[in-house]
Structure 1
Amino acid sequence: MRAIFLILVIFASGESLSEESICFGTTSNGRLENGVRLPAGSGNYIGYSTLARLAGRTYVHSAVRDIVVASYKDLETEQPDKVFKYAETGFKEGGKFKPHKTHMNGLSVDFMTPVINQKGESVHLPTNPLNRLGYDIEFDSGGFYDGLEIDYEALAAHVVALHKNSQKKGYDLWRVIFDPELQPNLLKTKYGAYLKKHVQFSKKRSWVRHDEHYHVDFSIPCK
């Protein structure tokens, strides 16, 4: 019975028992060893696509996985009525990750922008093949799309949680890419002062707008 119990524990733990990841190079020219997948979801968060996950597009550095999961856990208390969704990350061994220009060494994660519906309820941004898994969504200058509104409070809380959990583990956030025209709304939240002091946001618009998602690069030593 003891042997069976141990087998069940190992099976349930899955990639949590894998070796620590090793990243090489940079987010735009690198690779990854011992990459781990983000969990499919739990409590207040889910992934953007089951098929994309099965296709191997949600692998990260093990430290990034731990930071992301711990941050969602903290948000269960900090923002108990909010839901979150992560998106593209990278392949298990890193390398080129089309159509992205980065995401090559396990340190890049896309998160879908948190939104509220017309009733003020926190809901997931829709991600399906018809909108290219959410990446084709375009918010207007006021932060609205098809009856949904960007939840800046939830987005700001999430970035703060990612930064705090990175620092707890001895790491940091390198940068957060989010549409510069929408960034001032983050600074108007109760987390604004913290973000302004501790988090480096993109100053110029990227090759894609980054309004329906925000891209986070983690600062973790690589070889």
Structure 2
Amino acid sequence: MTTVARRKAAERSAGDGGETAAALIPSGPSLQSLREAAAGCRACPLWERGTQTVFGEGSARSGVLLVGEQPGDMEDRTGKPFVGPAGQLLDRALEAAGIDRSRAYVTNVVKHFKWEPRGKRRIHQRPDAREIRACLPWLAAEIDVVRPEVVVCLGATAAQALLGSSFRVTRERGRIVASPLAPRALATVHPASILRIPDEAARRAELSRFIADLSAAARALG
């Protein structure tokens, strides 16, 4: 599937209406040219709130591409995806599942941090449909360049953006499903949701399920 076809498929998954970053995608893109172009993206208002664009990072020819919702506070400050507490938990889970993060590619559906102030803290806000749709051409282009065998959607926002608004992680998590963007796709929870579980025993159980889901992706790599 071509970059244009992937981009259109991604936009259909998110719904219609509104401006997108499609016109900013360079011809014959590489990860470097995409990263440079995305740095100046103004396709939605989130650039006014975020410190910087947080583009994907990892191997340019990875068998697995992991995609979350959006960068968090630490990612916004450093410009790197999945480096905060959720990213550290993801690293441990990937290792337990037999996936080398240095050989994977990690990114987000939305490339700017959406937040609201609460005292001195910046509190995460979920991106809306317009913001997701505006940013999807970047993700479609990343997938086209990396050409992963398996796309792992971390959380409902990523899963519904790529697999359709009717997709439910609670019903389909850990299962290999068809995707217009990659040979195989799998959805699981976002690691941040595990960190929010207050009960230690429940948190350990959910982490075990998360590792099992990632292990299914590892097996799909063959």
Shorter-normalised TM range: 0.3 to 0.5
Q: Which has the higher helix share?
A: 2
Larger RCO: 1 or 2 (CA < 8 Å, sep 6+): 2
TM-score for both structures, normalised by structure 2: 0.33
TM-score by length of 1: 0.33
